[in-house]
Amino acid sequence: MDKQNLILVTGATGQQGGALAAQLLAKGYKVRAMTRKTDSEKAKALAARGAEVVRGDLDDPGSVERALAGAWGAFAVQNTWEGGVAKEEEQGKRFAELARKKGVQHFVYTSVGSAQRQTGIPHFDNKWRIEETVRALKFPSWTILRPVFFMDNFLSPWFKPGIDQGKLMIALQPTTVLQMIAVEDIGKFALAAFERHQEMNGVELDLAGDQHTMPQTAEILGKTLGKKIEFVPLPIAEVRKFSEDYALMLEWFDRVGYNADIPGLTKKYGIRMTTFAEWARRANWG
């Protein structure tokens, strides 16, 4: 990949897009960061690091076409929890179609771990259908990344308030092993997908960096934070009140679970994965 090749990063002020933008900018690549909020602090920080920040809304095809103009590569990510399952699918398919129309040479789509396994989880299955669209469009080259559960989720409002009170609360069985990944590592693999696009053309890759049961996870968090963290299994019925989709995912974790080849990722691609203990030590718990 030439340093002059322009890469459009969607979700550039979010987790995955932000992780890739940071990796690309650190290597001196030309980055066009697409965001709905060009005046946000994260957008300003990207501009200060050399990114071209442009306004783009996945629900506004015109703004997406403008953002894609002249881009050699494009990184596609959508947020199911923001727009819902149907809208995410619509956004993902439309973005891929517009990227093909605008002549993008290498397309990277970030899906979800096990999307290809007919899980019955709505926000997994819709990503599989977006993947199908990406494959059918026959980009000159393309890569699909499938990250598992984010370690960074433990800093979210879903988990952190409980952790602050000494409780890791999630509706999983204590024996369930959950694969997880640091968002930063997704950025590293996305960078590789662009830098090594010929090697990674047509590659579909499940990504995970570590795996633990929730009691083990609570113990690691406790050591990091210097206090006792207790795993508290929540009733799945309580989760279902909030989201059927999320409940189905947790039940699938208990019953089946992700199956990324963690040692194989490092062996094949030379990218050392972050362990959960390492991530926890680096995380901002303040």
Q: What is the pLDDT of residue 4?
A: 81
Q: What is the pLDDT of residue 83?
A: 86
Residue with tokens 């508290």, as numbered in its chain = 232
Query: Along the 286 residues of the chain, how does pLDDT read in single tens digits?
Result: 788 899 999 999 999 999 999 999 999 999 999 999 999 999 999 999 999 999 999 999 999 999 999 999 999 999 998 889 999 999 999 999 999 999 999 999 999 999 999 999 999 999 999 999 999 999 999 999 999 999 999 999 999 999 999 999 999 999 999 999 999 999 999 999 999 999 999 999 999 999 999 999 999 999 999 999 999 999 999 999 999 999 999 999 999 999 999 999 999 999 999 999 999 999 999 8
Question: What pLDDT does 265 receive?
Answer: 96
What does the chain look like in DSSP terms, one character per residue?
A: --TT-EEEETTTTSHHHHHHHHHHHHTT-EEEEEES-TTSHHHHHHHHTT-EEEE--TT-HHHHHHHHTT-SEEEE---HHHH-HHHHHHHHHHHHHHHHHTT-SEEEEE--TTGGG----HHHHHHHHHHHHHHHHT-SEEEEEEE-EEGGGGGSTTTHHHHHTTEEEES--TT--EEEE-HHHHHHHHHHHHHTTTTTTTEEEEE--EEE-HHHHHHHHHHHHTS--EEEEPPHHHHHHH-HHHHHHHHHHHHT-----HHHHHHHH--PPPPHHHHHHHS---
Q: Residue 81: its pLDDT value, please?
A: 86
pLDDT of amino acid 1: 74
H/E stretch holding 141 reads strand 141-147
Find, among 270, 284, 252, 283, the residue nearest to 179 by Cα.
252
CA dist 40 and 61 (Å) reads 22
- Please tell me the distance from the alpha carbon of residue 142 to that of residue 153, in angstroms, as a whole number: 28
pLDDT at 2: 81
What architecture (CATH level 2) is domain 6-150+181-209+259-271? 3-Layer(aba) Sandwich (3.40)
